[in-house]
Structure 1
Amino acid sequence: MVAITTQDLLAASIASWCDGATGVSEVARLSGGASQETWSFDIAHPDGVIGAILRRAPQGYGAASGRACGLVTEAALIRRAHQAGVPVPVVLHVLTEADGLGIGFIMKRIEGETIPRKILRDAPFAAIRPQLARQLGGILAGIHGLPLGQLPELRRMTAAAEIDELARDIAGFNWPRPVFQLALRWLRDHDPGAGERLTLVHGDFRHGNLMIGPDGMRAVLDWELAHLGDPMEDLGWICVNSWRFGEIDHPVGGFGSREELFAGYEMAGGGTVDPARVKFWEVMGTLRWGVMCCGMMQRFRDGPDHSMERAMIGRRSSETEIDLLRLLSPRGRDAG
């Protein structure tokens, strides 16, 4: 019996929804993506080859769990963002049971770079780097401006709920984490409460999920952690030191300043930025990433995933502890 391959399934799928398509080629699974599978392939078409990306749940897994909104909802969000002018991929098709490919969607492939080292150091990006923080601010203003009534159903998150989740996760490690406990206490003491605005929050707006070219931002990827909440959360997350990749003096992704990010946000109609709220979410994001790193290491030790990638990410929890001590020092944000 001949096994049916992913290429076979993709060829059958595109024949049902892509008029004129004659087949697929160059099918390859891409590296990266801890929670979802990503495949690149080409669609043969009389008008020219269409580069495409399949994003789907790992085989054997069903609906999303935990914080993820689910791939069907993610596809709907990306379509809505595209309609509003936010730079995102074009969703071509949402998978159905008939496709035999699981849960997910197919989108047009966008050429660009997501690897931080290249974006921060390679010559083709030198001219655009000083402009990126302001561009990102404008894009976040667009995301936060999407009318809530036009969005699919999303979970609502508050700072208090997030703190409680992190506290449970930390307790579950069964290992002393005094710096994490210190950060939890600081977050509880400085919780600003509900803000004036409730908006769509991307939830993972940082390197790896930003497709960048020599001309600037090309697409915001991976919307699986999108939710409703405080818009300052996204501004704080992009400033977390872990996303600077050694360029500690450039808080926004290792290439820009908070002032440029905030200016781009306000100029694009995002409203007035509250720096104190942004710092709160920067501390929260730093702790969240540290907890996620610990979770990676726990899965590496206890199984079933013993990949070296898990272990490498897991060891970075110690870096977040240093970042938290810097953020919570008397000098505060100026220390990092």
Structure 2
Amino acid sequence: MSAASVAELLARSAVAWCPGATGVASATRLSGGASQETWSFDITHPDGAIGAILRRAPPGYGAAPGRAAGLDAEAVLMQLAHDAGVPSPKVLHVLGPDEDLGTGFIMQRVAGETIPRKILRDDEFAQARPKLAQQCGGILAGIHGLDIAALPQLRRMTAAIEISDIAREIEGFNWPRPVFALALRWLRDHDPGPSERVTLVHGDFRHGNLMIGPDGVCAVLDWELAHIGDPMEDLGWICVNSWRFGAIDKPVGGFGAYEDLFAAYEAASGIKVDAECVKFWEVMGTLRWGVMCVGMMQRFRLGPDHSMERAMIGRRSSETEIDLLRLLAPRA
């Protein structure tokens, strides 16, 4: 669908649900998203333009893939988080079937940056960087504190289910990966069992999904992998080395220390962080990302997607193998 067609449909939609709106302007598709699209646009209004973002699966796309919660569930989660004081964009409108825009929602546009290289290096974020690990700990405590009874239907995950799913994916590659096999054995040997505390888990809380400004985290984005499970999974995921982007001495996103993340989480939640459990989930997350990278390479090698992007991500599986060996090495 062309930008003009999307803009026309957005204008019709906005006039219907936004009182006083007269149309839309500057509709532009943003980069990223293989199956789902993100569009930035302004709602024209007598009181001033309203910056908005459309997140959608185009008509005919079908059900959400694999692990995804689905866009309808995402919209509910983001609004619940916003209403609870978690930095999340306000959901303005959920698309209906008569709007011809597919499945999805429109949210308020939040100013900030998501590109890790800029966040970790540019002077604009120098004052924010020392605060980010603590902010992330507090935000995760807020996410995990959301009332489960109010959540939409989400998949429930345990470490054992995750291990089984990853093992099945590795076996399906028909491509020996000794380091992955070692990591799988370690995970089976160190499985902490079902968590006594079960909460909403964001599922992809990391660089790229955090909108960051000069004062720190402005919004948590992309809730598509949200599920019910062990809250320590989120703390482990943001510590995966792949999300440090070269700053390996700062395990939390390349900007902070474990101690800062854990202390802020405990202060906000009143719950003690199990560091060994977080390490388990860091190993799990590292292996999961490695498996995802191999999947990208398989799609590049065997089809149907021979894009350079797939190849570039696919080659990063070797980086995760190095990370796993470092994580699993006996401690001195």
What residue in structure 2 maps to residue 166 of structure 1? 166
| CA gap 1:184/1:220 in 2 versus in 1, 3 angstroms | same
What residue in structure 1 maps to residue 51 of structure 2? 51
| CA gap 1:35/1:257 in 2 versus in 1, 3 angstroms | farther
- Superposition CA RMSD, Å: 1.4
Once the 2 structures are TM-superposed, how far is the Cα of residue 35 of structure 1 from its aligned partner? 4.2
1:252 is paired with a residue of what secondary structure?
A: coil
Unmatched 5+ stretches in structure 2:
none
What residue in structure 2 maps to residue 94 of structure 1? 94
TM-score (norm 1): 0.96
The 5 Å alignment of 1:262-281 reads: 262-281=262-281
Range 159-168 or range 15-24, more displaced? 15-24
Report percent identity of matched pairs. 76
Unmatched 5+ stretches in structure 1:
none
1:268 is paired with a residue of what secondary structure?
A: helix
What residue in structure 1 maps to residue 153 of structure 2? 153
Once the 2 structures are TM-superposed, how far is the Cα of residue 58 of structure 1 from its aligned partner? 4.6
What residue in structure 2 maps to residue 193 of structure 1? 193
What residue in structure 1 maps to residue 251 of structure 2? 251
1:206 is paired with a residue of what secondary structure?
A: coil
Contact 2:3 2:29 in 1 (8 A): no
What residue in structure 2 maps to residue 260 of structure 1? 260
| CA gap 1:270/1:226 in 2 versus in 1, 3 angstroms | farther
Contact 2:3 2:27 in 1 (8 A): no
Whole-angstrom CA distance in 1 between matches of 2:33 and 2:3: 26
Offset from partner CA, 1:42-63 (integer Å, 9 cap, x none) = 1101111011111012553112
| CA gap 1:4/1:25 in 2 versus in 1, 3 angstroms | closer
Are 2:239 and 1:239 equivalent residues in the alignment?
yes
Whole-angstrom CA distance in 1 between matches of 2:3 and 2:279: 53
Whole-angstrom CA distance in 2 between matches of 1:239 and 1:184: 19
Whole-angstrom CA distance in 2 between matches of 1:117 and 1:172: 34
Range 208-217 or range 27-36, more displaced? 27-36
Offset from partner CA, 1:270-311 (integer Å, 9 cap, x none) = 511000100000000000000011111112222222221111
Whole-angstrom CA distance in 2 between matches of 1:132 and 1:250: 11
The 5 Å alignment of 1:168-317 reads: 168-317=168-317
Whole-angstrom CA distance in 1 between matches of 2:303 and 2:159: 31
TM-score (norm 2): 0.97
Contact 2:95 2:104 in 1 (8 A): yes
What residue in structure 2 maps to residue 27 of structure 1? 27
